Structures are given as structure tokens and as C-alpha cells.
Structure 1
Amino acid sequence: MTAITHPSYRSTPGPLHAILLAGTVPLFLGALLSDLAYFNTFQIQWSNFASWLIAGGLLFCGLALLFALANLIRAEQKSGRPRVYFLLLLVSWVLGLINAFEHAKDAWATMPLGLLLSVVVTVLSIAAAWTGLTSLRSGGAE
């Protein structure tokens, strides 16, 4: 008798995927804090810090997005958690890219839209990390 096994879909990210996903949150959060510091002090260096942190967040988020896409393709069920996780990452990456373009302007021109985009991208990246790193075993059925 031969047993046929199907590769199981991993509901939580693997170690490298989890590191990339978890790296997006502090980078985008750091950009938000830098934007808040610039908004309060008008020291241009804070805007430069935010630009670099957004670039790092985009790198980590983009690589996590590739892993999420691979997981979505491999998932037996295309709806539910894999799709929500992928869409959250996609929206946070796209808005992060718009935020990077906004921060490429003169420092004075980045406010208040740059600060608002940093808030939205940070909240979306936290939601994506929460969705991606939450195990189905702890919460029951999907």
C-alpha cells in the first residue's frame, strides 16, 4: 500500500519570511516617528531619516510581499487569511512607495501629506504583520 502525501500549506510564515515581515514594522514606525519629529522641530535631518527608513521599509515589505505571493499561489484556499495578508502587504507597499515619492520632495513640501501617509503605512504594516504572524492554531478555524 502506497501513501500519497500532499505538501501542506504553511499558514504562518517561515523564519526568513517572518524576519522580513517583522522588519517592516520598525522601519515604517521609525519613519513615522521621524516625520513627527520633523513636524515639531523643522530640522531637515528628520525628513532625511524618514526617507531612508521608508526606503528600508519598502525593501523589507517588498521581499515579504514576494513570499506572501508564493504562499498565496501555493494555498489551496485562495480566499481568507492568505488573500487578506497579501492585500495588506500590497497596499502598504504601494502607499509606502507613494510616501517615498512624497519624501523625495523638498522637506517643507512633505508636510502634512508625508506625515499622514506615514501613519497609514505604519498602521497597515502592523495589520499585515499581525495577520501574517498570527497562527491559526491559537485562534481556531479560519
Structure 2
Amino acid sequence: MVIVSPFDLPRPLHPLHSILLAFPLPLFLGALLSDIAYWRTFEIQWANFSSWLIAGGLLVGGFALLWALINVFRSERGYRRRPLAYFAVLLVMWVVGFFNALVHAKDAWATMPEGLYLSVATVLLALAASWIGYSGFRTGEVE
């Protein structure tokens, strides 16, 4: 029988933090899909959709990033590795998303292919941040 202290288990996210974390992945994924649509059709409206979706992902992702920073300082001294990794991935996601927004602020014809590459990177980072963030939920009883 292994005895595990409650501090060894990952702490679940606060419900409001979970809601904030739920937005960046689908918004950045929508931006990636609209970038792909623009790459295929060259309809300028798809580039506009991408810009707005990226802006939304940055807005909500910024609040999730702020909450993650607070969690880093609130975590126990010996158990900061996971919150710090989560914060770092969210920070890199936000910075890459910001550069993606700057690329999408250019003329629609000038956004390709850099905007598409940055959208892929942002989606992968948002997926990693969501994975790290949501994997902190306790799924069962420890025996």
C-alpha cells in the first residue's frame, strides 16, 4: 500500500480558470482552419476571420495566463514544477499568438505562409497548455 499525501497529487483548476482555458484552443483552431481556407480560396474574408479569432484567443488566453501566474506563486514551494511548466507553455502560446496577430495585421496577401505556420504552432501550444492544465483533475480515489 502506497501512501500519497494530498500535496503530491496535482491540484485541479479553479472552475473559472477552467472556463478561461477552454477558449484559446478552439479560437486558435478556428483561426488555423480559416487560414487554411484562405490559403485554398484566397477569399480575403477568411483572413479577417483569422484575425478576429486570434484576437479572441489572445484576450481570453491572457486572462488564463494571468491566473496561471498567480497559481505559480500560490503553489507549495516544493511543488511548483507543474504550475511553472503550465505557465511557461501558456506564455509561449500567448507570445506566438501575438506574433501571429501581427502577421495577420498585414495585408491579406502578405499573411501567407507565415500566418499559417504561426497558426499551426499556436494551436499545438494551446493543445499542450490545455493538456497540462486539465490533467490536474483528480480522477479517482488513491488507495
- TM-score band by shorter chain is 0.7 to 0.9
How does the TM-score come out when normalised to structure 1?
0.87
Q: Deviations over 1:20-75 (max 9, x none)?
A: 10111100000000000000000000000000000000011100001000000111
8 Å CA contact retained: 1:51, 1:104: yes
Unaligned ranges ≥5, structure 2: 1-8
Determine if contact 1:27/1:54 at 8 Å carries over to the other structure: yes
Kindly tell me the number of residue pairs found equivalent between the two proteins. Answer: 133
Shift of 1:135: 2.4
Is 1:21 paired with 2:9? no
Could you give the per-residue CA deviations for residues 55-106 of structure 1, whole angstroms, max 9, x where no partner exists? Answer: 0000111000010000001111364211110000000000100000000000
Supply the distance in 2 between the matched residues of 1:53 and 1:115 (Cα, whole angstroms): 14
Alignment match, 1:56: 56
- Map 1:63-142; keep pairs closer than 5 Å: 63-76=63-76, 77=78, 79-135=80-136, 137-138=138-139
CA contact (8 A) 1:72 1:78 kept: no
- For the residues of structure 2 that align with 1:135 and 1:119, how far apart are their CA atoms? 25
The CA RMSD measured in Å over matched residues stands at: 2.0
The separation in 1 between residues aligned to 2:79 and 2:89, in whole angstroms, is: 15
Q: Distance in 2 between matches of 1:108 and 1:136?
A: 44
Measured in 2, the distance between the counterparts of 1:10 and 1:70 equals 16
Counterpart residue type for residue 110 of structure 2: A
Unaligned runs of 5+ in 1: 1-8
Runs (4+) off by over 6 Å = none
> Normalised by the size of structure 2, how large is the TM-score?
0.87
Determine the C-alpha separation between the residues in 2 that align with 1:105 and 1:31.
15
Q: For 1:15 and 1:138, how far apart are their aligned partners in 2?
A: 16
- Letter matched to residue 43 of structure 1: E
Aligned twin of 2:4: none
Contact 1:28 1:54 in 2 (8 A): yes
SS in 2 for 1:60: helix
Structure-1 separation of matches of 2:20 and 2:26:
11
Q: What percentage of residue pairs aligned between the two structures are identical?
A: 60
